[in-house]
Amino acid sequence: MSNPLRDRRPVTELAAVGQAIEFAEQISTFKGLAAILEADLAALDPERIPSAWRESVISGQLQFGFADAARRVPKMTGSADAKVAAVCQRCLEPFELVLRVEPELLLLDAEEVAEGFEDLEVWELDERAVQPQDIVEELLIMAMPFSAMHDNMAECKALMSADSSADEEIEELVNPFANLRSQMKQNEKDPDT
């Protein structure tokens, strides 16, 4: 049985039939996203890497149709949610990063222009046939933050509270010049050092 998320079909065909796709797929089936996550997790000691991160589920739904009454401008709307393993760039601990995308896309060839659809983002296609999974994967990759971090610094400090020097390291990462004033004053008092 075919999987409409992975089937490659022309966008006009998907739009003409009003293709609706509900999905719940493991991260491992999204090869590009999985490779990015794996590279990020490689910064951890192997025993600290979450064991089943590839089995986390990406779920959502997509709806294809036309944006215009003349049925010439294909569109795709929907949502996708994922909880992925990431490494906090503040405390260097693994954590669960929540990703959510809600695309409202016009699916157009690179040379096509659609006037009057300012509320929809243009998604330029290299070819008229698409694999919906590729679009979802690219949207999730674009939704990933440049530097993944816990939502607030308190979560990082809570993880590191057993090691008091770790708190100082976190403070230095957040405010690297925090001790500069005291060092400058010390140098003024003791210029020979």
- pLDDT number for residue 152: 78
- pLDDT number for residue 67: 92
- pLDDT number for residue 13: 94
- pLDDT number for residue 176: 56
2 to 6, 7, 9, 58: CA distances (angstroms): 8, 7, 12, 19
- pLDDT number for residue 156: 80
- pLDDT number for residue 158: 66
- pLDDT number for residue 171: 52
Under-70 pLDDT residues of the chain: 1, 157-186, 191-193
Nearest of 54, 36, 59 to residue 133 by alpha carbon: 59
Cα–Cα distance measured from residue 72 to residue 66, given in angstroms and rounded to the nearest whole number: 7
